[in-house]
Amino acid sequence: MDFRRVKEYFSWLYYQYQIISCCSVLEPWERSMFNTILLTIVAMVVYTAYVFIPIHIRLAWEFFSKICGYHSAVST
């Protein structure tokens, strides 16, 4: 892929984002506020998933291993 096609693809994705989220009808300060809030929410979801999913997987592994008769605990 050449650089021009990649640039056009990202431009198309950004255009789709603006159309879907109705950012194209907002004023510039409203658009920046909306994007800031959206980016903050996405960052918090990613961070929370990064921190808590491994803990829940470990707890689920221990729970199901006890049910299935495999009593060796995961070392911490």
Q: What are the pLDDT digits (tens) for 41-50?
A: 999 999 999 9
Q: From CA 16, how far away is CA 14, in angstroms rounded?
A: 5
pLDDT of residue 67: 87
pTM above 0.85, yes or no: no
φ/ψ bin of 69: left (φ > 0), alpha (ψ from -120 to 50), beta (otherwise): left
pLDDT confidence band for 76 (50 / 70 / 90) = low
Give the model confidence (pLDDT) of 16-64 as tens digits.
999 998 888 999 999 999 999 999 999 999 999 999 999 999 999 988 8
